[in-house]
Structure formats: C-alpha cells, structure tokens
Amino acid sequence: MRKPIAMVVVAVLAIIVIRIVDSCDEKSSTTQPASVENPTTVQPSLTTEIALPEGIAQLDDGYLQRTLKQTLSGTDHRPFWVLQGRVFNMGPDSNKRYYQIHRVTIHVTLTDNSDLPIDETDLDLSVDIPPFQVRGFEEEIRLLPPVKGAYKWQWEIVSAKGQITQYTSK
C-alpha cells in the first residue's frame, strides 16, 4: 500500500516543482537574452518517434502469475503467465522536454531461489501515456516454470519510444 502512495506523492511534488520552474522562467524571460542554437544541431520534430531518455518511463505494482492455459500446437510449449503492472510517464528530462510514451519493451526474468535464471522474455507494449500520467496493463507472456520450489522474478524497461510533446500545467 505504501508504493502507490509514494508514487502519488512523487508525482504531486514533480508537478509543484514544474509549476515553480515555469513561473520562474516566465519572470526571468524578459531579463535573459534568448539562447542561440548551433545551426548544425538537428532537434527531433513533434511527429518523430524517438528513443526516450532513461527514467522517463518507470514500472510499478508488478504481479506475475502462472495460468493454466497451454498451447498444443507450434514449437513453443512453455506455459502462459499473466504479467500485470503500471507504466508511469515521469515527466520532463534534464532539458525540460516532455515526452508522450508510445511503446515500451519490458524484459522479464524468472529465477530460482539461488538467483539462477530459468527463463526470460521481452514484452512489447503499445501504450499512449502523456506526461505525469500512468497506464495499467495486463498481458500474457510465456516463461519456462521452475522444476520445483519457489521462484523469483524481475522486470525492467529495456526500451521506451515516444515523441516530444507540448505540455502545459493547469
């Protein structure tokens, strides 16, 4: 129960900091000269999908459970597991750019109690997450189960893609 509350507190604090920074920028915009960009620098347009900086997309509330569903055809006979969780768009990067998340790749690893990997897989999610918002997901993945005993699992975002977006706080 503490994790969701902590994530809400972090999101609220981030919004407060952004509003303070935005108000400082508005006050100082008349006293500071406009910056001149290097003409050889190419900035991505608002319609170009790009790899997002690390930390923009974050995972929380993960849950992995094996299902009874099995496939009898094809070459992959590993059982199905249900992976549930939430993807957060944490807001701006260090350059105050905001991103709309469109695709996230999550790497899931199943290990035994001695932390030896049993199996791993990647899950590609198509999502649409504006800055400071969150989206839940529930997807089926295939993993080889442990032969006996308990298991542990880990997940991490290995790739997040999206677009630079305009964001105005209300």
Q: How many domains does the chain have?
A: 1
Give the pLDDT score at 28.
Answer: 43
pLDDT band at 157, cuts 50/70/90? Answer: very high
Give the pLDDT score at 144.
Answer: 92
Give the pLDDT score at 34.
Answer: 40
pLDDT at 2 over 90: no
Q: Does residue 78 fall inside a structural domain?
A: yes
Average pLDDT over residues 124-153: 93
Give the pLDDT score at 22.
Answer: 55
pLDDT at 54 over 70: yes
**Long-range contacts of the stretch 17-20 (C-beta < 8 A, 24+):** 18/91, 18/92, 18/169, 19/169
Match 């975002």 to its residue by tokens.
157
Give the pLDDT score at 13.
Answer: 53
Q: Does residue 94 fall inside a structural domain?
A: yes
Q: Which domain holds residue 95?
A: 46-165
Strand partners, 138: 84
Average pLDDT over residues 117-123: 96
Give the pLDDT score at 3.
Answer: 54
What CATH code is carried by the domain that includes residue 79? 2.70.50
Give the pLDDT score at 150.
Answer: 86
C-beta separation of 141 from 80 below 8 A: yes
Looking at residue 14, its amino acid is A
Q: Does residue 33 fall inside a structural domain?
A: no
Q: Does residue 22 fall inside a structural domain?
A: no
**Buried/exposed 157-168: b ≥16 CB within 10 Å, e otherwise:** beebebbbeebe
Q: Each residue of 7-49: pLDDT tens digit?
A: 555 555 555 545 554 554 444 444 444 443 443 434 445 568 8
Give the pLDDT score at 146.
Answer: 84
Give the pLDDT score at 27.
Answer: 45
Strand partners, 134: 88
Q: Each residue of 55-111: pLDDT tens digit?
A: 999 999 999 999 998 887 888 889 999 999 999 999 898 889 999 999 999 999 999
Alpha carbon dihedral 20, 55, 50, 96, in 10-degree steps, equals 20
3-state secondary structure of 50: strand
Q: Does residue 159 fall inside a structural domain?
A: yes
Average pLDDT over residues 112-138: 94
Looking at residue 81, its amino acid is W
Looking at residue 141, its amino acid is I
